[in-house]
Amino acid sequence: MNKIIKIVLIVIGLVAAVLWFSLPSADDPDAINSGSMNFMFVIMYILLAIAVVASLFFGLKKLLSTPGSLKKTLFALGGLAIVVAISYGLSSSEEAKAVADSFANNPNIVATEGTVKNIGMGLNVFFILTAVAVALMVFPGLKKMFVK
């Protein structure tokens, strides 16, 4: 099976190399509609689909086969839900209304209060998870440095 996968990958690489050299020049205004460009996109979508299916399959297989991993996953999802809830609570309604009102005169930008609040929530989630990730990297190193 491993040999077959290697052969398929070599064939895909060779086809991609041939398509790369048959691409039209950048000056061509109709370059996006070329057959080689379209076929490269098809190859990309196929490889992306294979990667997504494989990662989902093997991830779920490991999740369901390892004892205790389902419990850890549920705790992690619960923690993420708590972070999202806290972030949604921290995103200010007054600020969201002020931002939405500032775009009310511009017909090209549709910004509702809910949209602005959701963007604020997403930024708060990012900042909280970044702070947690940095803390989880720094504190064990500091602990090793001072405990020894």
> What is the Cα–Cα distance from 92 to 97, expressed in whole angstroms?
9
pTM (predicted TM-score):
0.60
- Residue by residue, pLDDT tens for the chain (148 residues) are 788 888 988 998 898 888 888 877 777 777 777 787 788 888 889 989 999 999 999 999 988 888 888 889 999 999 999 999 999 998 877 777 777 777 777 777 777 778 888 888 999 999 999 999 999 999 998 888 888 6
CA distance to 81, 83, 123, 134, 140, per residue, from 129 (Å): 12, 8, 10, 9, 17
Structure tokens at 26: 């950048």
> What is the Cα–Cα distance from 122 to 114, expressed in whole angstroms?
12
Q: Where are the domains of the chain?
A: 1-65, 67-148
